[in-house]
């Protein structure tokens, strides 16, 4: 299984939306996809209408002591090749409990090691660079950083990149590839957004496309659907299909390098 993290220190930058779209499209195209919800706010879990009152990813992590369930015990099928390891609010205390535990950065990686039957995992991170995000970065081969098109947000991307660099420097994961930056909630007739796009391109950072802002994305959420399912011909879906294409190529390259 190859794992991809969707992360950014900031909230509200389409991390959850991007996880859901990518998961949904890759599964529709024939992969066995596991989405992992690492946010105690459980937006991803709720988007797919999954209930995690009993077993959740928090039971896999445990806290100050080891978790009492395997990842395979908490995974719930959604449809076709799409499944989710759901989260609930207990994950918040989990993260605090992890601080003093030996091997705290490797819990998700070990849980992945015991799992079989999935082609790809996509991990939705909470905002911030706490131990849950570190676990995701340690357990993965690729990172996608969604960002709003603003100067402040691009500074946030640089900070996120620094943290990711620190993972390698600390010897936690030397085979983590930055797949690229995704500009989200983009308004194409806004001069500032276009200036930001130019700036990202000239900075040499790999850009994975631009997801347009659309009220349909929120509409889809209220119907418990991804935008790719709710409005497959719309501009946001088109942009997410383009992202999925890049990711599929990256997955193939990654596999052949192993
Ligand atoms: P994060 O997980 O980074 O906090 P979300 O994916 O939850 O961000 O997105 C934050 C909010 O913005 C949600 O209400 C979501 O539905 C909305 N949103 C995400 N992408 C778009 C988009 N392309 N157009 C309009 N609204 C969007
Ligand atoms: Mg989120």
pLDDT grade for 257, boundaries at 50, 70 and 90: confident
Residue 205 predicted with pLDDT over 80: yes
pLDDT grade for 256, boundaries at 50, 70 and 90: confident
User: What atom of ligand 1 comes closest to residue 8's alpha carbon?
Assistant: 3
pLDDT given at position 193: 96
Eight-class DSSP state of 81: T
Asked whether 50 and 75 are in contact (CB, 8 A), the reply is no
Asked whether 122 and 23 are in contact (CB, 8 A), the reply is yes
pLDDT grade for 255, boundaries at 50, 70 and 90: confident
Averaged pLDDT of the chain: 96
Q: Which two tokens stand for residue 69?
A: 């369930």
137, 141, 145, 146 alpha-carbon torsion, rounded to 10°: -110
CA–centroid distance, 9 to ligand 2, in Å, is 11
Q: Which residues surround ligand 2, an ion (CB under 5 A)?
A: 15-16, 43
User: What atom of ligand 1 comes closest to residue 186's alpha carbon?
Assistant: 23
- Residue listed under structure tokens 């959740």: 56
Whole-model pTM: value is: 0.97
Measuring CA to CA, which residue among 114, 50, 43 is closest to residue 84? 50
3-state SS track over 36-77: EECCCCCHHHHHCCCCCCCCCHHHHHCCCCCCCCCHHHHCEE
Q: Which two tokens stand for residue 123?
A: 């991990």
CA–centroid distance, 148 to ligand 1, in Å, is 10
- The β-bridge relationship of strands 76-79 and 82-85 is antiparallel
Based on the number of CB atoms within 10 Å of its own CB, is 167 exposed (0-12), middle (13-18) or buried (19 or more)?
A: buried
Q: Tell whether ligand 1 has an atom less than 6 A from the beta carbon of residue 228.
A: no
Task: For 179-198, write each residue's pLDDT tens digit.
Answer: 999 999 999 999 999 999 99
Distance, CA of 188 to CA of 109 (rounded, Å): 39
Residue 61 predicted with pLDDT over 80: yes
Distance, CA of 60 to CA of 70 (rounded, Å): 6
Asked whether 113 and 62 are in contact (CB, 8 A), the reply is no
Percent of the chain with pLDDT over 90: 95
Q: Which two tokens stand for residue 55?
A: 């077993």
**Residue to mutate, 218, 221, 225, 235, ligand 1, most ligand atoms under 8 Å from C-beta:** 218
Task: For 4-59, write each residue's pLDDT tens digit.
Answer: 999 999 999 999 999 999 999 999 999 999 999 999 999 999 999 999 888 999 99
Dmax over CA atoms of the chain, in Å, equals: 52
- The region of weakest confidence among 151-155, 178-182, 199-203, 253-257 is 253-257
User: What atom of ligand 1 comes closest to residue 211's alpha carbon?
Assistant: 23
Task: For 146-169, write each residue's pLDDT tens digit.
Answer: 999 999 999 999 999 999 999 999
pLDDT grade for 253, boundaries at 50, 70 and 90: very high
Distance, CA of 61 to CA of 45 (rounded, Å): 17
């Amino acid at each position: 299984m190859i794992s991809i993290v969707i992360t950014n220190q900031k909230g509200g930058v389409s991390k959850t939306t991007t996880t859901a779209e990518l998961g949904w499209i890759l599964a529709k195209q024939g992969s066995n996809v596991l989405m992992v919800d690492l946010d105690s706010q459980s937006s991803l879990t709720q988007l797919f209408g999954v209930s995690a009152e009993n077993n959740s990813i928090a039971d896999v992590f445990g806290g100050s002591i080891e978790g009492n369930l395997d990842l395979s015990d908490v995974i719930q099928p959604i449809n076709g090749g799409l499944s989710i390891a759901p989260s609930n609010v207990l994950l918040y205390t989990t993260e605090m409990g992890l601080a003093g535990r030996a091997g705290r950065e490797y819990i998700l990686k070990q849980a992945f090691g015991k799992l079989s039957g999935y082609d790809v995992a996509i991990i939705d991170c909470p905002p911030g660079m706490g131990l849950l995000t570190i676990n995701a970065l340690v357990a993965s081969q690729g990172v996608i950083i969604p960002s709003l098109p603003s100067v402040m947000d691009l500074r946030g991307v640089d900070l996120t990149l620094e943290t990711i660099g620190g993972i390698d420097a600390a010897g936690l994961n030397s085979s983590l590839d930055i797949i690229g930056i995704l500009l989200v909630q983009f308004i194409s007739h806004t001069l500032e957004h276009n200036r930001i796009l130019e700036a990202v391109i000239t900075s040499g950072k790999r850009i994975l496309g631009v997801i347009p802002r659309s009220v349909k994305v929120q509409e889809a959420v209220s119907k418990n659907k991804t935008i790719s399912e709710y409005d497959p011909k719309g501009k946001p879906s088109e942009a997410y299909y383009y992202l999925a294409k890049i990711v599929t190529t990256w997955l193939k390259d990654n596999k052949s390098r192993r």
